[in-house]
Structure 1
Amino acid sequence: MKVGLFGANGRMGRVLIDALDQNENTVLSVATVRDDSPWVGMNVGELAGIGKKDVNCSAISSLSENDADVMIDFTLPVTLESNLKWCVDTKTPVVIGTTGLSETQLGLLDAAAQHIPIVFAANYSVGVNLMLSLVRQAASVLGHSADIEITEAHHRFKQDAPSGTAMAIGEAIADELGRDLKTCAVYGREGKEPERDQGTIGFATVRAGDIVGEHTALFADIGERLEITHKASSRLTFAKGAVHAAQWLHGKTPGLYSMVDVLNLKLNVS
């Protein structure tokens, strides 16, 4: 199966090159960068540090209809609209891992999914998606009495906060408890405040060094607490999940899918 990459020179783009090279059932057919990028023409294997391969980075304007069976996009939110438009125009399925999307950009995903199959997830790790199931189970048992806090840590270069994964964890918990995360989330505490409202879900964010990704959901009651934690030590975990999603997506009907669909996870345990 031919898989193409948007943003091959990004941190995830380089790891995806490696993941596709390791997968026996996929071939990297095209790897795009900005038209004015100094990486245009560079060999993708040398870019990813895995030795010379058969594909060079190409300008995104040179991308053509038959270059890929599925595209993968882990670029920035600003490029989402143009990348989606190309996929819709060429009827090319796409796996999207871009986080920090606005409500308007999420609407673009919904609109595009009327025409092509799309997998969109905040995190492509199998462990994180299993964690979404576990936090639902914990929320159904403890959520009406425990205080709930979500902490996350990432590398210094990550721009959106809280992370998309932290927000997905919060959404899963809020949904299980019948709450609206938009109204019950607390994103920062400072100074003297009233006693904590048990109905809120707190978020704390760390940005430091080269932390790949750590997430903890804390359920703290009087006398006991439960912590559910996932720690990633390599971006290759996410890349392999995205490649798996691309293989799953090939041949699907138009629609907006998630890793819940890809992994056939049952998240509603109530």
Structure 2
Amino acid sequence: MKIGLFGFGKAGKAVASVILQNKNHSLQWIYRKTNKLNHRDASDFFGIESNDPGYFHSEKSFNIDELLEKHPVDAIIDFSSQEGIYTYGKAAARNNVKIISAISHYSDKEIDFLHQLAQKAIVFWSPNITLGINYLLYASTFLKKIAPSVDIEIIEEHFKDKKGISGTAIRIADVLEVKDEKINTIRAGGIVGKHEVIFGFPFQTVRLIHESISRDAFGNGAVFAAEHLLNKKPGFYKFEDLLHPYFKV
């Protein structure tokens, strides 16, 4: 699968590195606001031997329509910003390009836009695209169904400079139908990301924990999503839609 990448921050860099090392997929380009890395390629940037072109392109030199025409891809993976979807969304839908968004926070406006795009394109959104955290979500949902009155607390830990409540923690709270005030936030050092769901029963406690050891986990999750969207029809998909077939008894 030919992949284009939006966003080259800490997570975006990890995702690019993972795709470059995956022989089943090809990183065609990375699209950025700045032209600072133009005329370089990602394999050179990371020092990874790869046949992928992985070129850096800037919106200052190519608009997205020109880029998709000259360097077509099967999927766009987005680790950029909340507003990034407006840069490429319509062009991707017109060109039958799968949209795989890993943006932590979207407003109702962006979510509505994703659903509009999903009428013509395959659109996937996961606030946390790691496979492990989405398994945690799925398992938490089952436990809540078994014990709907159980006490639930959510703890999220991230690096010191991360602002706001984790989008993943908010997602967990929404899925388990608990209020955001049940989310406990810790910011310290260089923690990549840790989420814990505590189920408090009268005489026992169940804890489900997921910890990202490396941001490469985002890359593995994005590749998992891309592979499981291959034969899907246009529509809006979440990670649980991809996991559900594995839980059928």
TM-score normalised per structure 1: 0.81
Distance 1:268-1:140 versus aligned 2 partners, 3 A rule: farther
Distance 1:41-1:155 versus aligned 2 partners, 3 A rule: farther
Alpha-carbon distance in structure 2 between the residues aligned to 1:105 and 1:92: 18
Letter in 1 for 2:138: S
Q: 1:78 aligns with which of 69, 74, 83?
A: 83
Q: Which has the higher contact order (CA 8 A, sep 6+)?
A: 1
1:4 matched to 2:17: no
The alpha carbon displacement at 1:42 in A equals 2.8
Name the stretch that deviates more: 93-102 or 216-225: 216-225
1:91 matched to 2:96: yes
| RMSD, matched Cα | 2.3
Q: Name the structure 1 match of 2:184.
A: 204
The alpha carbon displacement at 1:267 in A equals 7.4
1:230 matched to 2:230: no
Between Structure 1 and Structure 2, whose CA radius of gyration is higher? 1
Q: Name the structure 2 match of 1:240.
A: 220
Q: Name the structure 1 match of 2:162.
A: 158
Q: Name the structure 2 match of 1:32.
A: 31
SS in 1 for 2:68: coil
SS in 2 for 1:67: coil
Q: Name the structure 2 match of 1:132.
A: 137
The alpha carbon displacement at 1:45 in A equals 2.1
The alpha carbon displacement at 1:152 in A equals 0.5
Alpha-carbon distance in structure 2 between the residues aligned to 1:75 and 1:82: 11
The alpha carbon displacement at 1:38 in A equals 1.7
Residues 133-155 of structure 1 show CA distances to partners (whole Å, capped at 9, x for unaligned) of 221122123331x3211110112
Distance 1:148-1:265 versus aligned 2 partners, 3 A rule: farther
Residues 145-194 of structure 1 show CA distances to partners (whole Å, capped at 9, x for unaligned) of x32111101123434x32222122212212xxxxxx5xxx143xxxxxxx
TM-score normalised per structure 2: 0.87
The alpha carbon displacement at 1:231 in A equals 1.0
- What residue ranges of structure 1 are gaps of 5+ in the alignment? 175-180, 188-201
Q: Name the structure 2 match of 1:41.
A: 39
Q: Name the structure 2 match of 1:50.
A: 48
> Contact 1:30/1:67 (CA < 8 Å) preserved in 2?
no
Name the stretch that deviates more: 67-76 or 255-264: 255-264
Distance 1:129-1:267 versus aligned 2 partners, 3 A rule: farther
> Contact 1:17/1:48 (CA < 8 Å) preserved in 2?
no
